[in-house]
Structure 1
Amino acid sequence: MIQVYLARLMHDLVSHKFADVCSIIDNGVWKWPQNRRPSFVVRRFIEETKFDPGGADRDSVRWLGHQSGMFSVASAVKIFREHGQQVNWYKLVWFKKHIPRCAFIMSLLCKRKLWTKDRMLARGIRMDDRCVLYRQYRETIDHMFFECPAASIVWQKVLSFCYVFRGNYPWGAELNWLVHHQAGSRFANDLFNLKLSTTVYYIWRCRNEIIFQNHVYNGAAIVNQIVQEV
């Protein structure tokens, strides 16, 4: 509809779509050709459209997504992304020195969206539900992170690097503790969160490598990968 009106408007103005504003506006008034009158449809369209060309100023493009009028990727993302209530764990995931791939897996964990075997079974995918890290328990998010004896060895080693010594609890309880543990300097918090998200990433990666590449669990190797990454 707009394209039809625009084509008709350009025709009535004896103009084209690349014309300057000053060629069709004179002192704030539409400058119609003397030998041509606009159609009723075009005239009504113009009367119902508020238009302030800014006098004789040079034409310019203004990005309405930011008050400065200048385009930026950040302002575009802000417009199109889904806006929801801020979660209390966002600082654990998104901080200045975060590693994107680790932050992504960490965010899925905090949302409980990782595709562990219990979730896939709930969707009707038939498979062995045992944890591949420690074959005696059912694989769930709460088990795989902190409760699993195999993963617990990795966690205890990494936490000891941060001078944190505590027992193993379900992931929900651990997440609540981690959120309220952010009490140090910004550098200390970022370093702690980096070790946290990196540990989550490499435990999940090890799990996938065992399933899809027939690797063997090696806790010491996981710790070494985390140390090298951080």
Structure 2
Amino acid sequence: MSIEDVFPKQAGMTRKIFKAKDTVAAAGYRFDDLVSMTSFSIKKMYAALRVDFPKVQWRRMVCNNLGSPKWTFHLTLVAHRSLYTRDRLAKWGMTNDTSCPLCDAADETIEHLFFLCNFSSQLWKKLLTGQHIQRHVMGCNQELYWAIRKAKANTYIMVLVGCVYQDWQDRNLRVF
């Protein structure tokens, strides 16, 4: 017979105390520090426990985006280079055809598919003109970087995210 069988509530409380002890130790406090404290700050404990992750540059395009959640999730995949484009599938031995299904002029890579492809670059150029932006269409990395650094309007970012999503949908319609 275990202690949990005899004192189920006390055993659960004991586990919580030991877990709290580990958490307090992870924050850099000792038991003596806690006993000698006259006041305790949850904010300071949280700051001690929080891990500092480097902020990614493209977070502004994903967080607080007015576009559809599907669009922003898709942009996250693009920014992480995690889409299953034909060049990635070919590296894994899943396909032999690496040509872009939108233009058949180059290999399908993330860089090519979203802004360098003739089909997507024409679409993006029209959308830029609609946003009153007069500049040349650049590659995927440069477009994301430009959006991060220069775009102040959420409408531009929403248009960018929608365009990237729609390009992927058009690509899938042609492939499947």
The TM-score, its normalising length taken from structure 1, stands at 0.56
Amino acid of the residue matched to residue 98 of structure 1?
Answer: G
The unaligned stretches of length 5 or more in structure 1 are 11-16, 18-23, 25-41, 50-66, 69-78, 213-230
Query: Is the aligned partner of 1:100 residue 2:69?
Result: yes
Aligned to 2:129: 160
Aligned to 1:170: 139
Q: Which among 203, 206, 209 is matched to residue 170 of structure 2?
A: 206
Taking only aligned residues, the RMSD between alpha carbons, in angstroms, comes to: 2.9
Q: Which among 95, 108, 112 is matched to residue 81 of structure 2?
A: 112
CA distance in 2, matches of 1:150, 1:102: 19
Q: Per-residue deviation at 1:152?
A: 0.6
The unaligned stretches of length 5 or more in structure 2 are 19-41, 44-49
- What are the Cα deviations for residues 12-42 of structure 1, in whole angstroms up to 9, with x where unaligned? xxxxx5xxxxxx9xxxxxxxxxxxxxxxxx9
CA distance in 1, matches of 2:117, 2:78: 15
- What are the Cα deviations for residues 43-95 of structure 1, in whole angstroms up to 9, with x where unaligned? xx7xx97xxxxxxxxxxxxxxxxx69xxxxxxxxxx9xx98421011111221
- What are the Cα deviations for residues 183-205 of structure 1, in whole angstroms up to 9, with x where unaligned? x3xxxx22111111111100000
Q: Per-residue deviation at 1:167?
A: 1.4
- What are the Cα deviations for residues 132-178 of structure 1, in whole angstroms up to 9, with x where unaligned? 00011110011111111111110001111111122132211222111
Q: Per-residue deviation at 1:104?
A: 0.7
Larger Rg: 1
- What are the Cα deviations for residues 190-226 of structure 1, in whole angstroms up to 9, with x where unaligned? 21111111111000000001111xxxxxxxxxxxxxx
Q: Per-residue deviation at 1:116?
A: 0.7
User: Cα distance 1:97–1:4, how it changes in 2: closer, same or farther (>3 A)?
Assistant: farther
Aligned to 1:5: 3
Q: Which has the higher contact order (CA 8 A, sep 6+)?
A: 2
Q: Among the aligned pairs, what percent are the same residue? A: 27
CA distance in 2, matches of 1:103, 1:167: 24
User: Cα distance 1:96–1:104, how it changes in 2: closer, same or farther (>3 A)?
Assistant: closer
Report 1:212-227 matches (<5 A): 212=176
Larger proportion of helix:
2
